[in-house]
Amino acid sequence: MPDYRNLIGGELVPASDGRTLDSVNPATGEVWARIPASGAPDAEAAVAAARRAFPAWSALPALARAGYLRKVSEVFARNAEELARLETRDNGRILRDTLKKDLPGMAYLWQLAAGQCLDAAKGDTVILGPDTLGLTRREPYGVAVCIIPWNSPISTFSAKAAYALAAGNTVIVKPAEQASASVLRLGELLAEVFPPGVLNIVSGLGEEVGDALVRHRDVAKISLTGSTATGQAITRASADALKPLTFELGGKSPNIVFPDADLDAAAQGVTVNSVYTGNAGQVCVAGSRILIHHSIWDELLDRITRICAELVLDDPLDLRTTMGPIVSSAQYEHVRSYLELAEKEGASLLFGGRTGAEVVPGLPGGYWVSPTLYTTTDNSLRLCQEEIFGPVAVAMPFSSDEEALAIANDSRYGLAAGVWTRDLGRAHRFVRDLQSGTVWVNTFRQMPPGLPFGGVKDSGYGHDSVLEYTREKAAIIQI
């Protein structure tokens, strides 16, 4: 059984007290690896190592830092299949996504971040008067803590660490305890790339090592992708030191389909590309509120039903599989509770609602939930307002643009939204008026590097980019 270790100060080390956590394969329910159950002493060691490495790393010319990041891209290219299989085994995300989408995309992202190292070194010049010159310069914060989720560990690791390092920060990555193995293995590979202490990876429970990291006075910047509740807890924990925060949090994204849309594309977009396949709905942008114009209600629901009937739920390491399991027993029970709640709230079950061994009989120990869709006319239901983070969606009818917009914005969340229409004017109006950080038109869940990604309201603020990991300093020079 693999026994993974932390990366601290360039060394691969266990938790200081030797404790470990089990990594469970969600497709089978079996323990397949162990990870360090790190605590406050390990957090202290990681921060100390990052502090020691910061002066030399931040002093490197931008092009020199870019060279290190390009080496990371090469590591991804050489080890793509191993890392993809590890991640699929660890969190259940299907191999056809980790291998065909995630890993190639991350190799490109590190190359892109390398090319942006110079952006973090640029400033402005302002002529304030004939004898007065104003200058701005960007500087790294120092030690940056990046807290990543379990649904796409390597992708989120890359989106945070690449830009933080490009800006000249040293980095500590805290992966989610439910899925740390792929990131810890990546740490083994990257220990040969970076100088000691520049990149550190520490696994363990959030309430132990995570809390110690965010409270540490020598941590200068925190970036989290996770739940809204976790973001609120980190805000409270970091308040004494007034640390700058970047949060990409929960979502309850609307997917709005108008009568003039390409209905075949829309049906694919609100199912395969949104809430069911790949991560079994365990994505923050999942379009789990499907708003359908009443004139196409029956027609679109029929297309959605036929698409979902063809989904293949099986071993996520099989490239034929199109939807995987729920990541853990705790999350499985969380999703199941919403199936029970939907019945109590009076939502109508259109399809799905099955769990456990009846979904995939060949893998009886796995955490399986079938693709599930409810219908309702009441957006105030908890089913419509709360993030489920599983393959559960709810469809609601609307009759006008104004009604669709009102329903879409009637949410505490504002991470993303989808609009399906051929009307260019309507598309631009909804891009303007939807309260969300990203709006997709006639597509869904495209997140190309180079565009900002973040939310509003309870979905967070800021986004991972080179400039987000720098602070701006002004200088006024009297000539």
Q: Which two tokens stand for residue 2?
A: 């693999």
Same domain, 172 and 316: no
96, 319 contact by CB (below 8 A): yes
Same domain, 242 and 260: no
pLDDT (average), residues 393-415: 98
Tens of pLDDT, residues 158-216 = 999 999 999 999 999 999 999 999 999 999 999 999 999 999 999 999 999 999 999 99
Same domain, 197 and 305: no
Q: Is residue 213 part of a domain?
A: yes
CA distances from 288 to 86, 99, 213, 273, 277 (A): 28, 25, 33, 11, 12
Residue percentage of the chain with pLDDT more than 70 = 100
Q: Give 125's strand partners.
A: 135
337-343 contact pairs (CB < 8 A, 24+) = 338/382, 338/383, 338/386, 338/388, 338/390, 338/392, 339/369, 339/372, 339/392, 341/382, 341/383, 342/374, 342/381, 342/383, 342/392, 342/394
With vertex at residue 272, the alpha carbon angle to CA 266 and CA 276, rounded to the nearest 5 degrees, is: 125
Give the per-residue pLDDT at 273. 83
Same domain, 142 and 264: no
Tens of pLDDT, residues 56-67 = 999 999 999 999
- For residue 100, give the CATH number of its domain: 3.40.605.10
Tens of pLDDT, residues 24-60 = 999 999 999 999 999 999 999 999 999 999 999 999 9
Q: pTM to 2 decimals? A: 0.96
Give the per-residue pLDDT at 133. 96
The total of structural domains in the chain comes to 2
CA distances from 269 to 209, 255, 275 (A): 39, 9, 9
Same domain, 346 and 469: no
Tens of pLDDT, residues 408-436 = 999 999 999 999 999 999 999 999 999 99
Q: Give 471's strand partners.
A: 139
Residue by residue, DSSP assigns 159-180 as HHHHHHHHTT-EEEEE--TTS-
- For residue 363, give the CATH number of its domain: 3.40.309.10
Residue among 174, 162, 164, 158 nearest 213 (CA): 174
Place of tokens 């640029």: 122
Strands 470-478 and 132-140: antiparallel
pLDDT band at 240 (very low <50, low <70, confident <90, very high): confident
pLDDT above 80 for 278: no
Please, what is the average pLDDT of the chain?
A: 96
Phi, psi torsion values for 72, nearest 5 degrees = -65, -40
Q: Is residue 135 part of a domain?
A: yes
Tens of pLDDT, residues 339-354 = 999 999 999 999 999 9
pLDDT above 80 for 249: yes
Same domain, 103 and 207: yes
pLDDT band at 451 (very low <50, low <70, confident <90, very high): confident
Residue by residue, DSSP assigns 281-317 as T-STT---EEEEEGGGHHHHHHHHHHHHHT--BS-TT
Q: Is residue 264 part of a domain?
A: yes
Report how far residue 447's alpha carbon sits from residue 444's, in angstroms, rounded to the nearest whole number.
9
Report how far residue 169's alpha carbon sits from residue 165's, in angstroms, rounded to the nearest whole number.
5
- Catalytic residue IDs: 248
Same domain, 270 and 186: no
pLDDT (average), residues 377-391: 97
Q: Which two tokens stand for residue 132?
A: 């007065």
Identify the domain containing residue 50 by its residue range. Answer: 6-249+459-478
Same domain, 270 and 289: yes
Q: Is residue 151 part of a domain?
A: yes
Q: Is residue 66 part of a domain?
A: yes
pLDDT above 90 for 246: yes
Q: How many CB atoms lie within 10 A of CB 402?
A: 10
Q: Is residue 113 part of a domain?
A: yes
Q: Is residue 323 part of a domain?
A: yes
271: DSSP letter: T
Same domain, 42 and 176: yes
Q: How many CB atoms lie within 10 A of CB 399?
A: 10
Which amino acid is residue 476, in one-letter code?
I
Give the per-residue pLDDT at 274. 85
Give the per-residue pLDDT at 239. 87
Q: Is residue 454 part of a domain?
A: no
Report how far residue 341's alpha carbon sits from residue 338's, in angstroms, rounded to the nearest whole number.
5
Report how far residue 69's alpha carbon sits from residue 449's, in angstroms, rounded to the nearest whole number.
15
| SS3 at position 25 | strand
Same domain, 373 and 438: yes
Same domain, 23 and 160: yes
Report how far residue 44's alpha carbon sits from residue 260's, in angstroms, rounded to the nearest whole number.
58
Q: Which two tokens stand for residue 52?
A: 């020691």
Same domain, 287 and 151: no
Residue among 33, 322, 7, 81 nearest 178 (CA): 33
